[in-house]
Structure 1
Amino acid sequence: MRTFRDAKAMAKSLRTALAQKNLELSHSECLELIANQFGYDDWNILSARIEAEADAGVPRTATGAVAFSDAIPILRIFDVEKAMEFYRDFLGFALDWEHRYGDNFPLYAQMSRAGIRLHLSEHHGDASPGSTVFVWMRGIKAFHEELLGRHYRYNRPGLEDAGWDAWVMEVNDPFGNKLRFSEPYADDDPRA
C-alpha cells in the first residue's frame, strides 16, 4: 500500500490514467491533487513533510521492512447532513475529499483538523456504529471553549480530570460514535 512518501509516483499514475480518458493534467496539477487527498493544502506542504521525515531518519519501506504511517479511524455514519453538521460545523473539521461509486451510493469521506484525519462511511461493511476514537492533543481547554461557544444543541461536552494525569473531553456523534480527546497535564509529557 502506498503512503504519502509515494506522492510523486501516485501523481504520475494519476496523470497516466487520466490521459487514457482524454483528460490532460500537468504533473504539477496531479501533485496538487495527491497532496489534497492526503489532507494537505498543497504540494509544497506535503513535500516538506516528506523531506522532514527523510531528514529525521524515518525508514522508508523496503522489501521485507516494516514501516507504519498514520492510523486513520473509520466511523460509520447514517446521514451525511447530520455528519457534516457535527464534524464540520460543530467540531470544526474540514471535508478533504469524498467518494461515491456512483449516483445514490454510500458516501466515503475524509475529514481533518490540526493533524487528525477521520474517515466517515455510510457503507455498512466499513465500520460498526458505537466506536470510540482516542485522540491525544494539545490545547484542549481552548477546544472545549470553542465547542461550547458554538451552542450545538445536541452536545455540550464537559472537561474532566481523566485520572491518568490528563484532561479529557468526550463528544458523541449522532451515530453512537465517541471521540475522546485528552491532553496530559505536563507540557513535556510524550503522550501528546
Structure 2
Amino acid sequence: MRIGNITPIFRIFDENKAKEFYLEYLGFHLDWEHRFEKNMPLYMQVSKPNLTLHLTEHYGDCSPGSAIRIATTELEDFHRSLLDKGYRYSRPGIEKTEWNTKEVCLIDPFGNKLFFYEEITEN
C-alpha cells in the first residue's frame, strides 16, 4: 500500500473573508470552486507549491477550529512577507519551541490554525 498526499479540509463561513485570508494574505492560488446550485454553500480548493487545502461552507464536512502543521523552509522570509502585507487582522510572531523548531501560527477568520514551522539545525 502506498499512501498519497493529504488534503486537509477547513470549515469556512464567509467566502469573501476566506478569499481575503487565503488568497490575498497567504498567497494561495484558487484552483477551483464548486456549488451544487446558485446560492448553495461553496466548496473550493486553494494551493501553494506542495500544499493543497479544501475550504468548505458545507455543514458537517468538518469541524471549525481545526489545526494543521506545515513544514517549511525560509520561515523568516515568509514571516516578513506576511508582516509587509499589513493585514489588519493578523500580526504573527515567530516562536522558538522546546522541540527545536521555529513556528508561525496563523489563525484564519473561522478559528482554524495553520502552524508553519521550520526545523532548527545546529551549525
Structure 1 or 2, whichever has the larger Rg, is 1
Instruction: Determine which of 123, 139, 157 is the counterpart of 2:74.
Output: 139
Deviation beyond 3 Å, 4+ runs, structure 1: none
- The letter of the residue matching 1:146 is S
User: Which structure's relative contact order is higher, taking Cα pairs within 8 Å and 6+ residues apart?
Assistant: 2
1:24-49 CA-partner distances (Å, limit 9, x unpaired): xxxxxxxxxxxxxxxxxxxxxxxxxx
Q: Is 1:111 equivalent to 2:19 in the alignment?
A: no
Equivalent position amino acid for 1:103 in 2: K
Report whether the alignment pairs 1:89 with 2:24: yes
Task: Provide the identity percentage.
Answer: 48
In the alignment, structure 1 segments of 5+ residues that lack a partner are: 1-65, 188-192
**Counterpart of 1:111 in 2: which secondary structure?**
strand
- Separation in structure 2 between the aligned mates of residue 93 and residue 84 of structure 1, nearest angstrom: 9
Aligned-pair distance for 1:186? 2.0
Q: 2:110 aligns to what SS in structure 1? A: coil
What secondary structure, in the 3-state scheme, does the structure 1 residue paired with 2:103 have? Answer: strand
Paired residue for 2:88? 153
Return 5+ residue gaps in structure 2 as ranges. none
Q: How many residues align?
A: 122
Amino acid of the residue matched to residue 77 of structure 1? I
> More helix per residue: 1 or 2?
1
